[in-house]
Chains A and B, each alone.
Chain A
Amino acid sequence: MDKDTLYARWLNNELSDSEIQELKASGDWDILRAIVDETDTWKLPEVSDQQIKSIRTRIDRLKNKRETKVIPINRWTWAYRAASVAVIFSLVYWFFFRQDIFEYQNLEGNIATIQLPDSTEVRLIGRSRIQYDKKNFARARKVKLNGQVHLAVRKKGEFVASFDGGEVQVLGTQFEVMTGKTVSRVKCFEGRVKVLVEGKPESILNPGDGVRYLFNETSGIPFTFEEEAPEWFGGESIFNNAPLEEVIEALQIQYHVDIDATNIDVKRKYSGKFRYDDLPRSLEMVFSPMGIQYTIEGTTNKKISLQ
């Protein structure tokens, strides 16, 4: 019988006679008994009637509010291929071969959570996007990512998250991908993932491991981190000695801005943080300590140049 569930089975009276003898002989029986007898007298108060009533008020208010949640905004069925061929072929194609692409595009200044058909939880911050083939997802779990996305993959089995120029093969459960024009970064929070980027050696990440792929570097740069979930779940993006180009990429994703960094040294390291919902303050927090001037061009506040 398994030693690593011994006490759990003891609690359920599922031990064999020999196991019971052993436990009593070791003296552990009495201690376990004392612990359980004590904790069995413990109580927590029931949730109050007032709480139960107040949920009614909350949901009434929600019923009256207009729906302003961000919901999947783009869904199309891909079946326009066989246009020039006979109608019959198009019909056959339509019924058997079409994909059913689901796409969710998140907006800047926003954090959203969606669930995939296998209960995998996906969180997106800022201008990020996820796409997958709804029809075939059960057979082959593949998603396409853009921006800054965290995934908590449910259920064992193959799961591939691809991004521009690379992919993450999930061997475990929780990881984050940040990917933009020149920077791709993957952090593994739980389980194990393998990161493959075109033309560069693969990386295997365990919890606490990350790898950053920067433009012009021939291989991924590994790093480690402490947090157990993306720091931006709490609204702040935090950087510890990260190359400035990575910080700039995060700003671009989270605020949907275009930052022209040609005049500065993007390899400089930055330690600090910024929030996802306050652009002026964030620019201040990143660039002022680095002694970099920033100018917001135009009236749309979308283009920023650095000096």
Chain B
Amino acid sequence: MDQPLPIASVCEESVFGKIHRDFSTRIRNFIYYKSGDLELSNDLCQESFVKLWEHCKSVAMEKAKSYLYTVANRLFIDSVRHKKVQLNFAAQRLTEIDSEDPDYKLRHDEFKEELERAISDLPENQREVFLMNRIDKMTYEEMAAVLELSVKAVEKRMHLALANLKNKVQELKIHKI
């Protein structure tokens, strides 16, 4: 009645190491999207992997990814649920044209700041889905799998995030760069 031992186990260091290399940035980002606190996110990311290691016997390899998201979420809840959240990102400018037009750059920077604030003000579940899709480049199917939601639920959250951001931008009339 017992299942045979899996051939590759999370308890094997090479396997665990690969999982860590492949997912630590995403997990760290996931917590950052929720908290806006990079230091906390780095710490909790480490803790999540430590927990995975401690429970390696009871987590199947295919489940490791969603286990990490679940643990990271739980650790986040344990620490700072109600602190005010403000996220910041480094923007990679695709061209340097803006440096020649200070006015353009100013408006562009203002837009970025307002957008960061608007994203930080989104409800947590909308915010994390939006950023996981745009920054981590995760598909709706991937997100559905790791967050244990239906694809439809992910799409709804995504739609709400964009709708809220659109409304905010319209309010502020700052999108006309």
Contacts and interface: CB of A to CB of B under 8 A. Distances in A.
Contacts of B154: 8
Contacts of B166: 7, 28, 31-32, 35
Most buried by B among A31, A154, A229: A31
B83 to A, nearest CB: 12
Give chain B's interface residue range (CB within 8 Å of chain A). 35 or more
B165 interface: yes
A144 B119 CA distance: 42
Interface in B66-109: 70, 74, 77-78, 81, 89-94
A39 B115 contact: yes
B156 A4 contact: yes
A59 B158 contact: no
Contacts of B155: 5, 8-9
A55 B175 CA distance: 43
Contact of B135 (A30, A42, A119, A233): A42
B50 A7 contact: no
Contact of A8 (B28, B70, B159): B159
Nearest to A155: B148
A217 interface: no
A35 B45 contact: no
A59 B159 CA distance: 41
A91 interface: no
Contacts of A59: 13, 16, 50, 53
A32 B81 contact: no
A41 B116 CA distance: 13
A73 interface: no
Contacts, number: 121
A31 B169 contact: yes
A7 B159 contact: yes
A66 interface: no
B64 to A, nearest CB: 14
A34 B177 contact: yes
A47 B22 CA distance: 10
B134 A40 contact: yes
A16 interface: no
Contacts of A233: 77-78
A7 to B, nearest CB: 4
Interface in B120-172: 133-135, 140, 148, 152, 154-156, 158-160, 162-163, 165-166, 169-170
A58 B13 CA distance: 12
A101 B132 CA distance: 41
A6 interface: yes
Contact of A38 (B16, B28, B112, B160): B112
Nearest to B161: A7
B115 A38 contact: yes
A44 B159 contact: no
Contact of A7 (B20, B32, B158): B158
Nearest to A28: B166
25 contacts: A7-B158, A7-B162, A8-B140, A8-B159, A11-B133, A11-B162, A31-B170, A31-B175, A34-B169, A35-B166, A36-B134, A40-B134, A42-B134, A43-B90, A44-B32, A47-B24, A55-B49, A55-B50, A58-B46, A58-B53, A59-B53, A62-B54, A154-B148, A228-B81, A234-B78
Given A32-B166, A44-B90, A229-B77, 5 more contacts: A31-B175, A39-B119, A41-B92, A43-B92, A51-B46
Interface of B: 13, 16-17, 20-21, 24-25, 28-29, 32, 42, 45-46, 49-50, 53-54, 58, 70, 74, 77-78, 81, 89-94, 111-112, 115, 119, 133-135, 140, 148, 152, 154-156, 158-160, 162-163, 165-166, 169-170, 175, 177
Q: Which A-B residue pairs are the 6 nearest by beta carbons?
A: A42-B89, A8-B158, A7-B162, A5-B155, A8-B155, A47-B24
